[in-house]
Structure 1
Amino acid sequence: MKNEGDRVTNVFRNIALSLALALVLLIVYGLIEPQLLDVEEEEAGIPNLPEEWEGQEIAVLADFQIGMWLDNKSTVEEAITEIVERDPSAVLLLGDYIYKPEDQSEQEVAQAIEVLQPLGEAEIPVYAVLGNHDYGLKKKDGNPAPEAAERMRNALEALEIQILHNEAVTLDAEGAVLPEGESGLFIAGIGSRWADADEPAEALANIPAEAPRVFMMHNPNSFEEFPADAAPLAVAGHTHGGQISIPGLPEWSWVALTSEEPVHVDGWIDGYGAPGNRLYVNRGIGMSAVPIRINAKPELTIFTLTASE
């Protein structure tokens, strides 16, 4: 009887040790995955796309979260290097460049500008929106810090990165802004949702009804405000691909389970928004709360534009 009891004890001990080892290995991998940049190649159809824009590329990058403990600034630098080598027509930055501006805004802003500097040196046109962390918001019902957002805005604009706050500009195929009234591709940016500053209607007001357009926003939930056929291509970040997720079950990601609002985490979001609108969610580069990613590799998205009906 004693031998049987010892055998059962050994079985449970071995199971416990195996589970502990598996957990350690998972955590170790979770610390490694943030360094594994994923370059996603996507094709995006846009109605009435000008002929000169056919086949042109737009790069999308989100959520640097610089300033978080064990942040992965090196992965941001890798993504920027890849963009410079690809030389797209334009780059869209989706916000959350810094993590906690209320504590160390000047230091974090300087680091964010440092990693973005090669884009300016390469003279690649860059357009951006601000995210909740840029306003000092780590939770939905916090108090925005406009002065922090203004500091971030000024730093980006000093690098000749144009902030689009509920507004649109028209670009030629080289990504340069065209004079008002000329035809081209409209790029529109939406303000931060958590800062209660997202107004898609304002951005839409200056875009002709049939004009080709791309919308950029930080929070995917701003997308639900668009009327039908208003946003054939929209891009967002914010949710880090769930950050820690189970393959094939995005609703069981760490971000989804800890959020107080609906969460859309990765890639094309089917069945969301009004008819004729399409949203792509970029997994971003940085992290929140813990410096771990599992099944949510950091992402740089390269969109190749094509004309569609």
Structure 2
Amino acid sequence: MKKFLKYTAVVLLGLFLVLILWGLLEPRLMIDYRPITAEIPNLPMEWEGKQIALLADIQIGMWLDNRATVRRIVNKLIEQQPAAVLIAGDFIYEPTGEKTKEEAQEEMELEDYREAMEQIQDVARLMDSLPRSGIPTYAVLGNHDYGLQWPTDVKLEQVPHLLKRALSQVGIVVLDNEAIALTSAGQSIQDSYPLYLVGIGSRYASNDKPLTALAGVPEEAPRIVFMHNPDTFASITSGAAPLALAAHTHGGQIRLPFFPAWSWMTVLKDDRVTADGWIDNFGQPGNRLYVNRGIGFSRIPIRINCPPEVTLLTLRRAHLSVSQPPN
């Protein structure tokens, strides 16, 4: 019996080590370029069939972070030349270095953000070739970009300002509860409105303001709404976001083999959360949300059965108007 238990323990230990090794390799060897069709009411004809890429949760500064995969993704997107790239927040991971968040918040001196500046500069270097290659690139900020891992953490106001400035300097447009009209060659005179891009701020930072972000968008105008945290989606008014995009969940990061819908998130939350993909029965009528799995990590630098995702959205004109929620 002792020999059996010993062999069993050795086998289990071996399986655990293999699982950990695979968890380290999977996010560095595999990238899921996931194609989806995204229908938008009243989509202008010049956007019909065009592709937009969505990525998120880069998390630069996490130990053993995934910046090599970020480089591969950026190079691939430059080859493919989508009509736009959207980055749904969490560019950095832990911006305070050796200081506690309380200390950094109290002193508010730039030198206290040395760790943050290093992470921000790394992010800018990784991402700047997207706008330089001619791809319009847009972003919103996530909770880690404010130094927040949880809503109860101390918010660092200086860090997002530094990050926005660095991203703007390399040509990435950061949307903070605002909307812009996306321009494209060949706009048809039959189209009443351009395609709007609406960017909503960080929920953990108490900066997600959907009403403010959507205020300048005409009621019937086509729009893509994107945010970091999917929970923001629930507060968007009915019919205002027929296509919404988010991230934040990392897809659960560790998911059961052969059961991709099951992760630690679904277990802990009694199966009341969908960690990625299209989210059904959530939010107001007429709105639809897609959640991206992201690229990086939180807490531990592994992914199991949950490879990094780049969502490739092919835009199609829906038959319903914004003011008519689908059945």
TM-score relative to the length of structure 1: 0.91
1:214-225 correspondence to structure 2 within 5 Å: 214-225=224-235
- 1:51 and 2:61 are equivalent in the alignment: no
Distance 1:308 1:134 in 2: 35
Query: What 5-or-longer segments of structure 2 have no aligned partner?
Result: 98-114, 320-327
From 117, 120, 133, give the equivalent of 2:144.
Answer: 133
- Does residue 95 of structure 1 match 2:105? no
Give % identity. 46
How much does 1:184 deviate? 1.0
- Cα distance in structure 2, aligned partners of 1:24 and 1:48: 52
1:31 maps to amino acid: L
Secondary structure of the structure 1 residue equivalent to 2:212: helix
Give SS of 2:206's match: coil
Is the contact made by 1:42 and 1:301 (CA closer than 8 Å) also made in structure 2? yes
Aligned-residue offset at 1:123: 1.6
Contact 1:61 1:94 in 2 (8 A): yes
Question: C-alpha separation between the residues in 2 aligned to 1:175 and 1:282?
Answer: 30
Matches within 5 A, 1:26-45: 26-35=19-28, 36-45=30-39
Aligned with residue 120 of structure 2, among 109, 120, 123: 109
Would the aligned equivalents of 1:58 and 1:302 in 2 still touch at CA under 8 Å? yes
Secondary structure (helix, strand or coil) at the match of 2:255 reads: coil
Look up the SS of the partner of 1:152 in the other structure. helix
Deviation at 1:52, TM superposition (A): 0.6
CA contact (8 A) 2:260 2:305 kept: no
Determine the C-alpha separation between the residues in 2 that align with 1:271 and 1:196: 25
- Contact conserved, 1:89 with 1:174, CA < 8 A, in 2? no
1:83 aligns with 2:93: no
Q: Could you list the per-position Cα deviations for residues 45-88 of structure 1 after superposition, in whole angstroms to 9, with x for gaps in the alignment?
A: 11100111100110101011001110010001111111111111
Identify which of 223, 237, 257 aligns with 1:227. 237
Q: How big is the shift at 1:205?
A: 1.0
The 3-state SS of whatever aligns with 2:65 is coil
Q: Which amino acid aligns with 2:23?
A: G
Give runs of ≥4 in structure 1 deviating > 4 Å: 247-252, 255-259
Match of 1:207 in 2: 217
Q: What is the correspondence of 1:148-187 to structure 2 with a 5 Å cutoff?
A: 148-173=159-184, 183-187=193-197
Aligned-partner Cα distance in 1 for 2:266–2:116: 28
What is the aligned length? 296
- In the alignment, does 2:305 pair up with 1:295? yes
Q: Report the CA distance between 1:276 and its aligned residue.
A: 1.3
Q: Deviations over 1:231-286 (max 9, x none)?
A: 11111111111011224756752345678xx7441111111111111111111111
- Do the aligned residues in 2 keep the contact of 1:64 with 1:97 (CA within 8 Å)? yes
> Normalising by structure 2, what TM-score?
0.86
Deviation at 1:34, TM superposition (A): 1.4
Distance 1:109 1:205, change over 3 A: same
3-state SS of 2:245 partner = strand
Paired residue for 1:192? 202
Kept in 2: contact 1:215–1:234 (CA 8 A): yes
* Unmatched 5+ stretches in structure 1: 1-7, 177-181
- 1:56·1:173 contact (CA, 8 Å) conserved in 2? no
User: 1:220·1:264 contact (CA, 8 Å) conserved in 2?
Assistant: no
Of the structure 1 ranges 8-17 and 84-93, higher mean CA displacement relative to structure 2 is found in 8-17
